[in-house]
Amino acid sequence: MNIWKMKILSAAAVLFSVILSLDAQSGGELRLADIFCDGAIIQRELPLPIWGTDLPAKKIKVSFAGQELSATADKDGRWKVVASAVKEGGPFQIEVQSETGKAAVKDIYSGEVWIFAGESLLDRTIDRIPAEADGAPQKQIRYFMAPRQFARAPCDTLPGRWKNFASGTEDMPALAYYFADEIRRKLNVPVGIIVCSVPESLSHAWMHKDSIKGIKQLGQIESYVEVIQNYEMKISGTYRGLQEFSRADDDIRYSGALKRFQMWAKSNDAKKILKNNAEAEQWQEKIQDWVENSMQRESKGIALLEEQKTWPLAIQIASGIIADPRTSGARPSALFNGMINPLVPYSIKGFVFCQGESDASWERGQVYFDILSNLIKNWRSTWNKAQNQKKGDLPFIYMQLQGIKDDKIISAEECSLLRLSQASVIEKVNVTAMVVSYDIIPDAGKDAVIQPGNMKEEAQRLALSALGRFYNQKVVCSGPIFDSVTVGDGSLRLKFKYADSGLIAGKTGSTEKIRGFETGSPDGLFKEAEVTADKNFIVIKTPGVVNNVRYGWGLKPEANLYNKEGLPAVPFTVNLTDK
Kindly list the domain boundaries of the chain, sorted by start residue. Answer: 31-208+333-470, 211-318, 481-578
Q: Which residues pair with 353 in a beta bridge?
A: 117, 398
Q: pLDDT at position 294, please?
A: 39
Q: What angle do CA 67, 73, 78 make, to 5 degrees?
A: 100
Residue 490, Cβ density class (10 Å: 0-12 exposed, 13-18 middle, ≥19 buried)? exposed
Q: Tell me if 461 sits within 8 A of 341, measured CB to CB.
A: no
pLDDT of residue 199: 85
Amino acid 373: pLDDT: 94
pLDDT at 572: 97
Q: What is the pLDDT of residue 133?
A: 57
For residues 438 and 419, the answer to whether their CB atoms sit within 8 Å is yes
Instruction: For domain 481-578, give the CATH number.
Output: 2.60.40
Query: What is the CA 273 to chain-centroid distance, rounded?
Result: 33
Per-residue confidence (pLDDT) for residue 221, from 0 to 100: 59
- How would you write the pLDDT of the chain (579 residues) with one tens digit per residue? 333 333 333 333 333 333 333 333 334 689 999 999 999 999 999 999 999 999 999 999 999 999 999 999 999 999 999 999 999 999 999 999 999 999 999 999 999 999 999 987 887 877 665 655 555 556 789 999 999 988 878 999 999 999 986 666 667 888 999 999 999 999 999 999 999 999 888 888 899 988 887 787 665 555 555 555 554 444 333 333 333 333 333 333 333 444 444 454 455 544 444 333 333 333 333 333 333 333 433 343 444 444 444 444 444 444 444 444 445 566 788 899 999 999 999 999 999 999 887 787 777 778 889 999 999 999 999 999 988 776 679 999 999 988 887 666 678 888 899 999 999 999 999 999 999 999 986 554 434 444 555 888 999 999 999 999 999 999 999 999 999 999 988 899 999 999 999 999 998 877 689 999 999 999 889 999 999 999 999 999 988 889 999 999 998 899 999 999 999 999 999 999 876
pLDDT of residue 529: 94
Confidence (pLDDT) at 204: 86
Determine whether 307 is exposed, middle or buried from the number of CB atoms within 10 Å of its CB (0-12, 13-18, 19+): exposed
User: CB neighbours of 234 closer than 8 A, spacing ≥ 6?
Assistant: 241, 242, 243
- Look at residues 325, 152, 312, 320 and name the one whose alpha carbon lies nearest to residue 247: 312
Question: What is the pLDDT at residue 448?
Answer: 45
- Do 522 and 464 meet the contact criterion of CB atoms below 8 Å apart? no
Rounded Cα gap, residues 319 and 331, in angstroms: 18
What confidence score (pLDDT) does residue 514 get? 95
CATH entry 3.40.50.1110 includes domain 31-208+333-470 = yes
Q: Report the Cα–Cα distance between both ends of the chain, in Å, rounded.
A: 71
Q: Which of 197, 181, 178, 200 is nearest to 189 (CA)?
A: 181
Cis peptide before 345 (omega within 30 of 0): yes
pLDDT attached to residue 322 = 45
pLDDT of residue 46: 96
What local confidence, expressed as pLDDT, does residue 247 receive? Answer: 32
Q: Under a CB-based contact definition with an 8 Å cutoff, are residues 518 and 538 in contact?
A: no
Residue 358: alpha-carbon gap to chain centroid: 9
Radius of gyration of the chain (CA): 26
Q: How many CA atoms lie within 13 A of 480 on its CB side?
A: 33
What is the 8-class DSSP label of residue 218?
G
Q: Contact, 196 vs 346, CB < 8 A? A: no
